[in-house]
Amino acid sequence: MAKSALLKSSLAKKYWMALTGLFLCLFLIGHLLGNLQLLSTGENAALHFNQYALFMTTNPAIKVLSYLTYISILFHAIDGILLAIQNQKARPVKYVMNKPEKNTIWASRNMAVLGTIILIFIVTHMVSFWARMHFDKNMPLQTVMINAGGMPQEFYLTTDGGYLPKAQVLQGAAVIKNRTEFYDATANVKIKEGYKDLYKITVAFFKDAKLGLVYTILYAISMIVLGFHLYHGFGSAFQSLGVNNPKYNGFIKNFGKAFAIIVPLLFAIIPIYIHFFIK
Ligand code: HEM
Mean pLDDT of 68-97: 84
Shortest CA distance to 27 belongs to which of 131, 126, 133, 132? 126
**Higher pLDDT pick, 218 / 88:** 218
pLDDT at 148: 80
201 CA → ligand 1 middle, Å = 13
32 CA → ligand 1 middle, Å = 8
Mean pLDDT of 12-36: 97
Mean pLDDT of 169-179: 97
| Ligand 1 in reach of 219 Cβ (< 6 A) | yes
For residues 177 and 199, give the distance between their C-alpha atoms in angstroms, rounded to a whole number: 21
Please name the residue whose Cα sits nearest to atom 31 of ligand 1: 122
| Ligand 1 in reach of 66 Cβ (< 6 A) | yes
Please name the residue whose Cα sits nearest to atom 12 of ligand 1: 130
| Ligand 1 in reach of 31 Cβ (< 6 A) | yes
| Ligand 1 in reach of 270 Cβ (< 6 A) | yes
Pocket-testing residue among 27, 29, 31, ligand 1, by greatest number of atoms within 8 A of Cβ: 31
Please name the residue whose Cα sits nearest to atom 10 of ligand 1: 129
pLDDT at 43: 87
**Higher pLDDT pick, 91 / 142:** 142
Longest Cα–Cα distance of the chain, Å, equals 82
Read off the pLDDT of residues 29-77 as tens digits, 9 standing for 90 and up.
999 999 999 999 888 999 999 999 999 999 999 999 999 999 999 999 9
Shortest CA distance to 269 belongs to which of 208, 204, 210, 224? 224
pLDDT at 182: 98
